[in-house]
Chains A and B, each alone.
Chain A
Amino acid sequence: MDFQLTFEQKLLQQSVASRLKQMRTLSPVSRADAMDDADSGPMLAELGILGTCVPNELGGLGLGLVEAMLVGIETGRIALVYPAIETMACAAAVIEAFPEAAVNVLEGRDPISASAAASLRIVDGRLEGDILLPFARQARWIVAPLGDEGETAIFAGPSTVIRSRSMLEPGVANADVGVSLSRGQFRIMTDHALAMRLQVLRNAEAYGAAQTCFDAAIQYLKERVQFGKPLGANQALKHLAADNFIRLENIRVALEYAASAYDGWRARPCDEQRRDDSTSALNVVLAFVSGAARRVVEDAVQMHGGIGVTSEYGLNRPLRRILRLSAASGPVNQHRRRLAHSLFGDIERSPSSFQSVVA
């Protein structure tokens, strides 16, 4: 048990962070915003990170979810308009299904996107239905859930875009996509782990986005002067800042634990205890992270006063990113209920509850 990032992991995170920081720090949303970072694919490929979770023998880095999470934090930090986390989560599955995809995926020419909500079915050997897909315009490969049993459909994009929405996050094209494919055009895989990877990485991006806004707010509290002193000298703001520091630390440790638990399970896939720990840890992330991340940014806006509410200052893109990612994580209360059952469901029903818990 050594629950700290290794030197190599910290180095990976720092090198990705400094490369991405060159693109931008805060992320303004302008009126005619068609910003997308589509051409960041080759840049990410150069860093090697698209293949973070792809085994060495298939051309990837052969690393774990912890490393992918660290990358996801950094792409979230600048609200990168490119499906980096989706590509990292799904590359190994796409390459296994369509080996010819490997080179272009790993070299950043063919981004992968993953659907957050889908109603797909197999009808007479055809794959039919609708999916909700972020980065629909950029996606060259699409991964979507098929039913509830961990089955996943993988197929080449672009498919028929029925309706594209960029209302929440400009440039992301969160689209309703119609799917109608014949046998041979798609593959079905059973991979319970894929959904877990996606969920952890979505929440990692939310954390990165929240961190950027918090850092900006702390800087602002030190610089902005009113009534003859910096804003940060006021206790009310100190406490607001402290509460959000704590929230971020809680998010960080929940993500690190979930990613670590996942990697521990994948190292011993038949170990049921490790599988259960991984599931439980993911439930903690789903029950907590997205709501907390949203709160951090809401408070960061508050700490900025007037400028925080403008489009040009740049807190709104991270906020919008978090809202989209939260929706993909699903309703928080559902996860909380599930977590309660997974933590305590083995209890014997007894009016004297202590009798049954202290064995």
Chain B
Amino acid sequence: MNINFTPADDRYRLEVRTWLAANLPQTWKAGAMVPPLDKAAQQEFLKEWERRLYAAGYSGIAWPKEYGGQGLSMREHYIVSEEIGKAVAPDSINIIGRELVGPILLRVGSEDQKRQYIPRILNLDNLWCQGFSEPNAGSDLASLKTRARSEGSEWVIDGQKIWASYAHFATHCILLARTDSSSNAHRELTLFIVEMSRPGIEVRPIQHMNGKQNFNEVFFTGVRVPDSMRIGAVNEGWKIAVGLLGFERATARLYRQALYMTELKALYGRAQHPSYLLDDAEVQIGKLGAALSILRYHNLQLISRIENGHEIGDEASFLKLLWSETHQELAGLATEIFQSDLDDETPEAERFREIYFTARGETIYAGSSQIQRNIIAERVLGLPRS
């Protein structure tokens, strides 16, 4: 058991860190988030950043070279993730492409689909949104009702999705629809690629309590999709999506530990300021520092397990539970440390306001904390279903 990285790893890390320091936009370093631009300009800013990251070779790290990836290992992916998180680099606007579409296509997509879509995820020519949840199918996703009816060489889609992040500017949607209504079981769901420009698609924004328009309702009325846009076999959609979700969630969000540690460092800095009030802040910060250090250890162990060829299953559920709940505690501590300064117009106050409100959703999306606990109890500990 060895926790030390090799000199080659350390050189790679330094290379990444140096590039980030030289290329992160100046406003970023002052703690400002996306510069105060209008929505369209903000999107361009984020797109341009991700394209630069890709051009420098720091995107699609563990994806095959033949489809535009870097063809490196999970270890390099981890190192880049950690440095990006530590530098508080802008969030990806193509998370759905990276975390869901890319991995799914690489696993079960056709050769044509891989060649068509993987490079365009990386260079952001395509931007993706996710069409999974519905108003009546959140945690109980398998009960979703959006239908895809077969008509010759096409599928006709009718239904409604909700919480579709990025749908307001996405070019493509990865959609989970029911292709067999003989029963309600999850054996009758299929995955599709849907171009957002297809007639019959309507996007309605939902404002997040953080004040931004992060997600949307998406209505599908008689939307026609060629069979070539189907991903994987008919009625295999659930197995594909769910089978990948655990692994992907664990590996695509590795940057968060380092990001949260930087946020915690900022809180420590604030707590050193003479005007500061909360007297046991350092104890609280140390407590969170222990939790985030432990999260890092789990990440290292995950990477080691993957490198040693182990399958990652339900045990990755608790990683999501850990980072989301730890982040909420951090956000709570921030409100205690800032007190009424949380209302300021400074970049720092704005950042922590956003952290606080965005964190409300973190324990809900990608499997709520309650669902994660049920998964651990039933699938890992073997407790009987209710």
- A contact residues vs B (CB 8 Å cutoff): 1-6, 9, 66, 218, 221-222, 229-230, 232-235, 237-239, 241-243, 245-246, 249-250, 253-254, 256-257, 259-261, 263-264, 274, 277, 280-281, 283-284, 287-288, 333, 335-341, 343-344, 347-359
Contact = CB atoms under 8 A, between A and B. Distances in A.
29 contacts: A1-B5, A1-B304, A2-B304, A3-B3, A5-B1, A66-B1, A218-B383, A233-B384, A235-B386, A238-B373, A246-B321, A250-B298, A253-B297, A254-B297, A260-B1, A264-B2, A264-B3, A280-B293, A284-B290, A336-B289, A337-B286, A339-B289, A341-B282, A349-B269, A353-B269, A354-B31, A355-B30, A356-B269, A359-B29
A47 to B, nearest CB: 20
B346 interface: yes
Contacts of A233: 383-386
Interface stretch (B41-49, B215-223, B374-382): B374-382
A353 B349 CA distance: 11
A113 to B, nearest CB: 28
Contacts of B385: 233
B6 interface: yes
Interface stretch (B53-61, B160-168, B258-266): B258-266
B207 interface: no
B272 A347 contact: yes
A337 B373 CA distance: 31
Given A245-B376, A343-B289, 5 more contacts: A1-B304, A333-B283, A337-B286, A343-B264, A349-B269
B294 interface: yes
Contacts of A4: 1, 301, 304-305, 308
Interface in B1-31: 1-6, 9, 21, 24, 28-31
Contacts of A238: 373-374, 377-378, 383, 386
Contact of A340 (B30, B268, B346): B268
B339 interface: no
Interface in B356-372: 370, 372
Given A339-B286, A355-B29, A358-B87, A253 B1 contact: no
Interface in B336-352: 346-348, 351
Contacts of A349: 269, 272-273
A282 to B, nearest CB: 11
Interface in B238-288: 261-262, 264-270, 272-273, 280, 282-287
A290 to B, nearest CB: 12
B328 to A, nearest CB: 15
Contacts of B229: none
B3 A257 contact: yes
A232 B377 contact: yes
A354 B384 contact: no
Contacts of B93: none
B91 interface: no
B31 A239 contact: no
A3 B286 contact: no
Instruction: Count chain B CB atoms within 10 A of each CB in A256, A261, A274, A353 and give the residue with the most.
Output: A353
Interface of B: 1-6, 9, 21, 24, 28-31, 75, 87-88, 261-262, 264-270, 272-273, 280, 282-287, 289-291, 293-294, 297-298, 300-301, 303-305, 307-308, 318, 321-322, 346-348, 351, 370, 372-374, 376-378, 380-386
Contacts of B293: 254, 280-281, 284, 339, 343
Interface residues of A, dominant DSSP: helix
A251 to B, nearest CB: 9
Contacts of A343: 261, 264-265, 268, 286, 289, 293
A344 B267 CA distance: 10
B381 A241 contact: yes
Nearest to B321: A246
Nearest to A64: B1
Nearest to A264: B4
A3 B378 contact: no
* Chain A to chain B: the 4 pairs with minimum beta-carbon distance, closest first: A354-B31, A336-B286, A353-B269, A238-B377
A350 B287 CA distance: 22
A43 B31 CA distance: 60
B1 A221 contact: no
A209 B76 CA distance: 38
Nearest to A235: B386
B287 to A, nearest CB: 5
A135 to B, nearest CB: 29
B373 to A, nearest CB: 4
Contact of A221 (B301, B318, B383): B383
Contact of A232 (B272, B283, B384): B384
B80 to A, nearest CB: 15
A241 B375 CA distance: 11
Given A245-B381, A351-B273, A358-B87, A3 B290 contact: no
Nearest to B377: A238
Nearest to A273: B4
Instruction: Count chain A CB atoms within 10 A of each CB in B5, B290, B304 and give the residue with the most.
Output: B290
Contact of A274 (B4, B270, B372): B4
A233 B382 CA distance: 10
A339 B288 CA distance: 10
Contacts of A259: 1
A337 B30 contact: no
A253 B294 contact: yes
A125 B6 CA distance: 49
Contacts of B2: 1-3, 260, 264
A13 to B, nearest CB: 12
A266 to B, nearest CB: 12
Contacts of A250: 291, 294, 298, 322
A271 to B, nearest CB: 9
Contacts of A256: 1, 297, 301
Contacts of A5: 1
A333 to B, nearest CB: 5
Contacts of B287: 287-288, 336
Contacts of B286: 287, 335-340, 343
